[in-house]
Structure 1
Amino acid sequence: MWFRNDLRIGDNPALKAACEFANDHGSKVRAVYIVTPEQWQRHHVAPMQIDFIRRHLNLLAQSLGALGIPLDVLYGQVFDDSASLLADYVNEHTIGAIFAGKEPEINEQRRDESLIAAGFNLTLLQQDCLLVPGSVLNLSGDMYKVFTPFSKKWKQITASMHIVPLSAPGPIDSAISQIAPITFDCAMRSSEAWQAGEGAAKRILDTFLSQDVEHYQALRDFPAVEGTSRLSPYLALGVISARQCVASVLQRFPEALVDDTSPAKTWLNEIIWREFYRHLLVAFPKLSMGHNFNALGDGIKWRNDKNEFAAWCEGRTGYPLVDAAMRQLNQTGWMHNRLRMLVASFLTKHLLVDWRWGEQYFRQQLIDGDLAANNGGWQWSAGTGCDAQPYFRVFSPLSQSAKFDPNCEFIKRFVPELSEVPNKAIHEIKCSAVYEASKVDLFAAPELEGKSATYPAPIVEHSFARQRAIEVLSALKKP
C-alpha cells in the first residue's frame, strides 16, 4: 500500500484493496510513504503542512502496526526518484502488487503513468472525491464550467447512491509492537496548534455537525467567530475523506441533498465546491501548470510591484482587515475563508499583482495547502478562472471590515497597534495622497489626540484602485 494524500485507514479504497488482495493470495501487506523534499519545495508546500504530514505518518504507523502492517518511509528528493526507490523496495520484500489512491494533479498523474509504463503492477483507486472526476457531466458529455449546474447534477447523482464509508481493514498479521519514530530532514514549522489523527478529524467533524452546522450559514463570514468547521487541513492530507464527511452530514440531515432549507445545505455546498475544483483539475490539466483558465487572462497587464507585494505579504497595506488576515496567515498557517477572498481580491484588483504570486505565497504558508482549492479560489478572485467573480466586482476592504468585523475584534487581535483606536475610525481610515506604502501617523485627528498608534497609510485609495482594475482587467471582457 503506497500512501500519498490519503493518510487514513478508514474509508481508504486502496488500503482495503491491498488487504483483500493479500487475503486472497495468502500473503501480507506492507505500506510505504515516499518523502520528496525537493518536490515539496517545487510545489511550495508549507513547512507547517510538512510537519503535519510527519505527525500524521507517525500516528498512521501506529494504526497500521495494530493491523500487522509495517509502514516504511522511503526517502527521495523528487517524484522521478519513485521508480528506483520502489524497484529496490519491491525486490527487497518480494512485492507482487502495489495499490495507491489516484491524485488529481498533473505531476502526480504523470509520475503514476510513467511507473505503469515502466512495468510496475500499480493499481490506482479513486479516494480523493466522492464522485469520480469525469462522472459529473452536462448533456453534451462535457465538464461543467459553472458551479451551480455542477452542484445540481452532483446532488442528483449522490442522492441516488447509498453513501457508506469503507470500514478500516481487519488485522493482516500479528500487531507490531516496536515502531520507530518517523523524522524528516527538511524545513518544518510546528503544527502542534492543530490536533493530529483520524480520531481528531472525526471528532472535529462530529462536533461541528452536532453543534455548529446549523449556525454555519449565519456565522461563517465573521472571522472573529469560530464559525467554520476547520476541517480543511485534514481533508488536504486525506486524514478524513469527502465520503466520510457527506455520509456524516446525511446521517444527521438526510434531506440535505434535496431540500434547500436544510441546515446543512451551505456547508455541504463547500464540499461540492471542493469536488468541483478537483474535477476541473483533472479535466483541464493546464490548471496544474499555472495557466489562466480563461485564455483572455493572458492579455492582462499586471503591475507586479514587488514592494507592494511585500507589503501585502507582511500585512502592512494600511487596510486593517486585509492586514489582520495576512498576519493570521503568517502567524497561524491558516486563514478564514471570507478573508481569503478579500485578500486575493485586494492583491489582484487593488494592486494588480498576478494571482499566481498570491497563490504561491498562500501555498508556502497554509497548513491546508491544496492545489485544486488554492488555484480555484485565486482564479475566482482574479476573474480569470472557471465560474469566476466578474472582473468589475471589486471588494471594498473597509466595507468588508465594517460588515464582517464590526467590533474590530479580529482586527485588533492581529493588528494590536490599533487596539486603542475607536472602531469607527478603523472602518473609515483615509488614504494619503501618495499611492504607496509609507509609515505615517494616521491617527493625528483631534478626536484621537493622545493615541500613539502608528500604522501604514493605505497603499492605494479604493476608488482609484477600483477604476484602475476595471480598466486593466477589461482584457477579460468577451470580444
Structure 2
Amino acid sequence: MQLVWLRNDLRLDDNPALYFACQQAIESKDAVSVVYIASPKQWQAHNESPRKLGLIQETLKCLRLKLADLGISFELLEVNSFTDIPAVLKAYCIKHEVSGLHFNREIPLNEQRRDKAVQLAVSRLDITVECYADDRIIHSNILSKQGAVYKVFTPWYKNWIQKLFDALPEVLPPPKAVSSPLTATQEISLSAAQVFREDIWLSNETEVLALLDRFCRRKAEGYEASRDYPAMPGTSVISPYLAIGSLSARRCFHQLILSCAEQGLHLGEAINHVWTRELAWRDFYRYLMLNFEHLSRGENFKTEPLARAWRVDTQAQAAWQTGKTGFPIIDAAMRQLLQTGWMHNRLRMLVASFFCKLLCLDWREGEKFFMEHLLDGDFASNNGGWQWSSSTGCDASPWFRIFNPTTQSEKFDKDGEFIKRFVPELSALDSKSIHCPSTEQRLALNYPEPIIDYKFARQQALDFFKV
C-alpha cells in the first residue's frame, strides 16, 4: 500500500504527494490510502482558529468523497500533539503493510522536526519515505550572487521573477483513479472545530477552483485599482483556501497566466502582474521562516537588542480586540474579523499599525489574536505581516511610518460604506462625519470616544520607537 499523509494540502489538484503516490500505485498495481492526523492540543498551542478548523473539517468531508471516487481510502486519526505522530504513523504502516509513505514538505520549525521524527521512525521499517516540494511557487532556496540569504524583499523578488522567466513551475493535474470507487463511511469530526460562515466560504475543491477562475478572468485586470478599498469586492478572497491547502499557490499563478493569455497579454505581463507580487510576498515570508529558525520561535526578525519594552495596557488591547476603539475604520475592521473570520488586507495593515505604533503594544499579542480568529490564519504570512507593521521584521515598515486611521478611512472608504456595514450604529452619519464623529454624535449613537488622542499617541510612538 502507498500511504499519503495530508496536512495543509487538502486537495486533489497540484498535490505532489498524492499524484506521485497514485502514479506509483498504478504502475505496481498497489492500493492507495490517505490519512489526516488531527492534533487538538498542538492546534491550541499554535493558536489555530476554531473557524479555520471548521473549514478544514468540511473540506475533509468533501475530499473524502472525491478520494473514494478514485478508489482511495481515507482515514482520520487523532493525537494530542506532534510528538505523538511518529508512533501512530509507524503503527499504521505496520498494520496496513505500507510500502511507501508520501507527504509534502512544511516549513515552520515544529513541523520540520515532526517530519524528521516521522521519517526516522518509518524508515526503520524498510518503508520508502518520499517528501515532496513545499507550497511555495518557487521552492528552491533563492540566494544572492554571493550565496547569501536575502533579508530584503526587492532584490529577492527580482531574483524570484527571473526564475519564473527562466522556467515556469510545474502544476500537476489531479491523480487518476487507482481502482474502482469505494464507499466513504467514516464520519469526519474535529473536536476543536466551530461553525464557519458557509454562505461566504467554500469547502468543495471544485468550487474553490471555480472561484479562482472567476477572479482571474473577471477581477484580476482591475485588481491594482480596487484592492485597497474594503467596500469593493476587488480582492480574490482565496486566502483561506491557500491557508488550508485546498488550493495551491502554483495553481493560482498558472491560472493567472492562462487568463492573461486569453486576454491577449504576453507571459511577462502575467509574471509582473500586481497579484503575482502578492503571491511572491507569501513565498517570501515562507523563505524567511525556512532560513531563519528564530521566526518560528516568536522572536523579532531583527536580532539586535531593542531599546524599549512594549507597553502593557489591557483596557486598550481589549477595546482593539472588540472593535470599540472609537476609530470607526479600526472598529469596522475588527468587527469584520470577529463576524466573518477574515479581514481586508489594507485593514490588516491599519489595525496592526494602530496596535503596534499608536498603542505601542507587543506585536506578538496582535499576531496571536489574529491566528485565534482568522479563517485564513497562516503562520508565516501572519508573522511576516505583524513584524512588518511593528518595524521589527525583515524589510519592515520604517519605525516612523504611522498610519493615521482617520485619513486612511477618508481615503479608502470615502463614503463610509464599509464602516456602515460593520459599525451599523454609525450608518445614519454623513460621509464626512462618519470617519470621526463628534462627541455629541457619539453620545447619541452610543459609540465610544477614541481611546487615544491621535496626535499625542503619534508623538509618543515616535519617541518610543526612536533609537
Give the shorter-chain TM-score range: over 0.9
Q: Does 1:463 align with 2:455?
A: yes
Query: CA separation in 2, counterparts of 1:83 and 1:200?
Result: 34
- Contact 1:130–1:242 (8 Å) recurs in 2: yes
Query: CA separation in 2, counterparts of 1:130 and 1:332?
Result: 28
User: Per the alignment, do residues 201 and 457 of structure 1 end up closer, same or farther by CA in structure 2, a change over 3 Å counting?
Assistant: same
Query: What's the offset of the Cα at 1:11?
Result: 0.8
- Aligned counterpart, 2:225: 218
- Aligned counterpart, 1:169: 175
1:150 to 145, 149, 156: 156
- Aligned counterpart, 2:76: 73
Q: Does 1:289 align with 2:260?
A: no
- Aligned counterpart, 1:15: 18
Query: CA separation in 2, counterparts of 1:163 and 1:346?
Result: 38
Query: CA separation in 1, counterparts of 2:266 and 2:289?
Result: 26
Q: Secondary structure at the match of 2:75?
A: strand
Query: CA separation in 2, counterparts of 1:457 and 1:143?
Result: 47
Query: What's the offset of the Cα at 1:133?
Result: 4.6
Identity of aligned residues (%): 43
- Aligned counterpart, 1:130: 137
User: Per the alignment, do residues 285 and 166 of structure 1 end up closer, same or farther by CA in structure 2, a change over 3 Å counting?
Assistant: same
Aligned pairs for 1:83-98 (under 5 A) are 83-98=86-101
Query: What's the offset of the Cα at 1:258?
Result: 3.1
Once the two structures are superposed, what CA deviation does each residue of 1:326-379 show, in whole Å capped at 9, x if it has no partner?
000001100000000000000001101100000000000000000011001000
Query: CA separation in 2, counterparts of 1:86 and 1:421?
Result: 59
Query: CA separation in 2, counterparts of 1:328 and 1:36?
Result: 28
Query: CA separation in 2, counterparts of 1:84 and 1:253?
Result: 48
- Contact 1:253–1:264 (8 Å) recurs in 2: no
- Aligned counterpart, 1:49: 52
2:323 to 315, 339, 345: 315
User: Per the alignment, do residues 46 and 297 of structure 1 end up closer, same or farther by CA in structure 2, a change over 3 Å counting?
Assistant: farther
Q: Does 1:454 align with 2:453?
A: no
Report the AA paired with residue 252 of structure 2: C
Once the two structures are superposed, what CA deviation does each residue of 1:174-215 show, in whole Å capped at 9, x if it has no partner?
110243331122242324131212211111111111111111
User: Per the alignment, do residues 27 and 126 of structure 1 end up closer, same or farther by CA in structure 2, a change over 3 Å counting?
Assistant: same
Structure 1 runs not aligned, ≥5 long:
431-440, 445-450
Query: CA separation in 1, counterparts of 2:68 and 2:274?
Result: 39
The normalised TM-score by structure 1 is 0.92
Query: CA separation in 2, counterparts of 1:229 and 1:373?
Result: 16
Query: CA separation in 2, counterparts of 1:378 and 1:358?
Result: 8
- Contact 1:127–1:241 (8 Å) recurs in 2: no
- Aligned counterpart, 1:195: 202
User: Per the alignment, do residues 223 and 171 of structure 1 end up closer, same or farther by CA in structure 2, a change over 3 Å counting?
Assistant: same
Query: CA separation in 2, counterparts of 1:116 and 1:215?
Result: 46
Query: CA separation in 2, counterparts of 1:472 and 1:227?
Result: 36
- Aligned counterpart, 1:62: 65
- Aligned counterpart, 1:437: none
Aligned length: 456
Q: Secondary structure at the match of 1:452?
A: helix
- Which one is further off, 56-65 or 338-347? 56-65
The normalised TM-score by structure 2 is 0.94
Q: Does 1:276 align with 2:276?
A: no
Report the AA paired with residue 269 of structure 1: R
Query: CA separation in 1, counterparts of 2:329 and 2:433?
Result: 13
- Contact 2:16–2:132 (8 Å) recurs in 1: yes
Aligned pairs for 1:226-241 (under 5 A) are 226-241=233-248
Query: CA separation in 2, counterparts of 1:314 and 1:354?
Result: 17
- Which one is further off, 49-58 or 124-133? 124-133
Q: Secondary structure at the match of 1:301?
A: coil
- Aligned counterpart, 2:165: 159
Q: Does 1:184 align with 2:190?
A: yes
Query: What's the offset of the Cα at 1:222?
Result: 0.5
